């Protein structure tokens, strides 16, 4: 059976209910006892719970079991009560998001839906196979249901962000949290390293740049003469993040795109196509499709000049020379990174890498990118790798020299050494308390209706308002 690790389809068969003002138990219509796993015989589908404007069907629980099993996970110890409780949580998030006027744009939902469908089709080889796998009658039914699922998920996500977004943690609260932990509760911090790198990028010749610029000019002319920019992007862009949706991005002034890209995008008029321009990723043309307030809906095509074998050889020789100077103690690794590395992001910090998950310089070995782990796991503090060839598709061909600037063994969390991790745990605890308080309040304010068949469930939240 195929598994979908990137897709979590948890809500199926959604209907709009008329909101009411009190809680009640639905008269029991199906007296049969529910088994832990979905029964194979046909069951009459019915509403088992209503949360605000949303209904949960008996079949939603069954389908959630199927989704869990399709991911290769056991459902042996998962009860129907637990699944219903989870579904009710998500429905309350989505319901309250609408009450709070949280907006989720259909265009964004459609974009996410198309990306997920592309992934599913890639895994199952055809759209018909996807429709069959999810037991739908046709593609339109599947798309409509997936759209509703994803929109509710997005509403729930935005509501969660609103709840926890205002939660902050002070150093004193972090210290108090740590002091309350018993020795048995102290988190275990895995072996960690701090890593720095020097990157040498092959130079691209003017001739190769001109080839790309001329091709982008040709594409622009073809679009101005009636060709589809979207189709051209699908065919020619070298940006894997936007190829499948025709080069589409939605950006604003705060979107983390490189300055040169945003400068060009915000200089265009709606419907205009830019001339080719260069960023660190290659050469682009941008089509400004729509202006929506502070947001721009754009499409772009990225093309990268080819790197010649001569340029690669010269870059390798330069990297070898830099490493030799470091090993001969002629220059420190950090100074070499600051003055000789071609990587802007790490150059100013002496080549130090930032962990994208924690936003600090520490990497836990067991949670590192597998490729980086293979390069540094056996290095001692201060050791330097040989010159490494790298071609990750995003940055193109280049050479790296990597060093481990510090290394620590597995240990129980220490307040001074592991403050960032302890602060993160303390913040999560405070956020969970905020969410719990929010649930207590909103459950009291929201119309909730639960089938009597589930009245004996031991829910985490007080859905029955006992």
What is the reported pLDDT for 434?
94
Burial 333-344, CB ≥16 within 10 A → b, else e:
bbebbbebbbbe
Q: Collapsing DSSP states into helix, strand and coil, what is residue 11?
A: coil
Q: What is the pLDDT of residues 394-431, one digit of tens each?
A: 677 899 999 999 998 888 888 988 888 899 899 999 99
Question: Mean of the pLDDT values across residues 3-7?
Answer: 35
Taking a C-beta distance cutoff of 8 angstroms, is the pair 258, 310 a contact? no
What is the reported pLDDT for 32?
43
C-alpha 464: how far from chain center: 35
8 — pLDDT class (breaks 50, 70, 90): very low
Q: Write out the two tokens for 56.
A: 């949960």
Higher pLDDT, 344 or 200: 200
Question: Angle between the 171-180 and 419-445 helix axes, to the nearest 10 degrees?
Answer: 90
Q: Collapsing DSSP states into helix, strand and coil, what is residue 193?
A: strand
What is the reported pLDDT for 190?
84
What is the reported pLDDT for 131?
87
Whether residue 20 is predicted with pLDDT greater than 70 in this model: the reply is no
What is the reported pLDDT for 341?
96
What is the reported pLDDT for 14?
31
Question: Mean of the pLDDT values across residues 133-158?
Answer: 87
Whether residue 11 is predicted with pLDDT greater than 80 in this model: the reply is no
What is the reported pLDDT for 137?
87
Whether residue 327 is predicted with pLDDT greater than 80 in this model: the reply is yes
Q: Which helix (H) or strand (E) holds 427?
A: helix 419-445
Q: Collapsing DSSP states into helix, strand and coil, what is residue 327?
A: helix
Question: Distance between CA 295 and CA 301 in Å, rounded?
Answer: 19
Question: Mean of the pLDDT values across residues 180-197?
Answer: 89
Taking a C-beta distance cutoff of 8 angstroms, is the pair 123, 2 a contact? yes
Higher pLDDT, 12 or 377: 377
**Average pLDDT for the chain:** 85
Higher pLDDT, 391 or 27: 391
- Please list the alpha-helical segments (H only) found in 328-418: 333-340, 344-347, 370-376
Q: Collapsing DSSP states into helix, strand and coil, what is residue 360?
A: coil
Question: 72: alpha, beta or left, given left = phi > 0 and alpha = psi -120 to 50?
Answer: left
Helix, strand, coil abundance in the chain, percent, nearest 5: 45, 15, 40
Taking a C-beta distance cutoff of 8 angstroms, is the pair 463, 85 a contact? yes
DSSP 267-278: TPPTT-BPPPEE
Whether residue 9 is predicted with pLDDT greater than 70 in this model: the reply is no
149 — pLDDT class (breaks 50, 70, 90): confident
What is the reported pLDDT for 346?
93
Q: How many CB atoms lie within 10 A of CB 428?
A: 13
143 HSE (CA, 13 A, CB side):
12
253 — pLDDT class (breaks 50, 70, 90): confident
Q: Which helix (H) or strand (E) holds 299?
A: strand 295-303
16 — pLDDT class (breaks 50, 70, 90): very low
Q: What is the pLDDT of residues 139-148, one digit of tens each?
A: 998 899 889 8
Burial 204-229, CB ≥16 within 10 A → b, else e:
beeebbeebbeebeebbeebeeeeeb
Question: Distance between CA 216 and CA 301 in Å, rounded?
Answer: 8
Whether residue 73 is predicted with pLDDT greater than 50 in this model: the reply is yes
> What is the share, in percent, of the chain residues with pLDDT greater than 70?
89
Question: Distance between CA 417 and CA 380 in Å, rounded?
Answer: 20
Whether residue 124 is predicted with pLDDT greater than 90 in this model: the reply is no
What is the reported pLDDT for 45?
55
Q: Write out the two tokens for 398.
A: 């280049």
What is the reported pLDDT for 398?
93
246 — pLDDT class (breaks 50, 70, 90): very high
Q: What is the pLDDT of residues 348-368, one digit of tens each?
A: 999 999 988 878 888 888 888
Among 321-325, 342-346, 412-416, 441-445, name the most confident range.
321-325
What is the reported pLDDT for 36?
41
């Amino acid at each position: 059976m195929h598994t979908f690790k990137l897709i979590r389809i948890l809500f199926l068969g959604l209907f709009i209910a008329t909101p009411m003002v009190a809680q009640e138990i639905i008269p029991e219509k199906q007296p049969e006892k529910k088994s832990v796993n979905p029964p194979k015989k046909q069951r009459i589908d019915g509403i088992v719970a209503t949360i605000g404007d949303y209904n949960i069907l008996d079949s939603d629980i069954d389908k959630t079991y199927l989704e869990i099993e399709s991911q290769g996970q056991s459902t042996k110890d998962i009860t129907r009560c637990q699944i219903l409780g989870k579904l009710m949580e998500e429905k309350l998030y989505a319901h309250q998001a609408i009450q709070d006027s949280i907006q989720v744009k259909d265009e964004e939902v459609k974009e996410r839906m198309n990306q997920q469908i592309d992934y599913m089709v890639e895994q199952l080889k055809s759209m018909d196979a996807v429709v069959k796998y999810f037991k739908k009658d046709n593609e339109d039914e599947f798309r409509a249901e997936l759209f509703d699922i994803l929109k509710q998920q997005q509403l729930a996500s935005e509501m969660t962000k609103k709840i926890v977004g205002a939660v902050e943690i002070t150093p004193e609260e972090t210290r108090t949290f740590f002091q309350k932990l018993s020795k048995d509760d102290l988190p275990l911090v895995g072996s960690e390293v701090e890593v720095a790198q020097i990157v040498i990028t092959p130079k691209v010749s003017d001739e190769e740049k001109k080839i790309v610029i001329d091709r982008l000019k040709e594409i622009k002319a073809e679009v101005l003469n009636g060709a589809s920019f979207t189709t051209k992007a699908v065919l020619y862009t070298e940006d894997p993040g936007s190829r499948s949706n025709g080069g589409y991005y939605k950006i604003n002034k705060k979107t983390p795109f490189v300055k040169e890209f945003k400068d060009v995008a915000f200089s265009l008029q709606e419907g205009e196509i830019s001339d080719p321009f260069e960023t660190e990723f290659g050469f682009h043309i941008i089509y400004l499709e729509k202006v929506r307030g502070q947001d721009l809906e754009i499409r772009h095509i990225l093309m990268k000049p080819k790197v010649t074998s001569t340029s690669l050889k010269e870059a390798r020789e330069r990297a070898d020379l830099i490493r030799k100077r470091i090993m001969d103690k002629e220059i420190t690794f950090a100074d070499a990174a600051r003055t000789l590395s071609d990587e802007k992001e790490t150059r100013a910090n002496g080549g130090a890498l930032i962990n994208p998950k924690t936003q600090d310089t520490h990497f836990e070995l067991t949670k590192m990118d597998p490729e980086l782990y293979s390069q540094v796991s056996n290095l001692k503090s201060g050791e330097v790798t040989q010159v490494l060839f790298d071609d990750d598709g995003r940055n193109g061909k280049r050479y790296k020299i990597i060093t481990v600037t510090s290394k620590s063994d597995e240990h129980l969390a220490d307040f001074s050494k592991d403050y960032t991790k302890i602060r993160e745990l303390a913040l999560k605890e405070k956020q969970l308390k905020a969410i719990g308080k929010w649930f207590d309040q909103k459950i009291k304010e929201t119309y909730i209706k639960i089938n009597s068949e589930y009245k004996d469930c031991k829910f985490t939240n007080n859905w029955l308002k006992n």
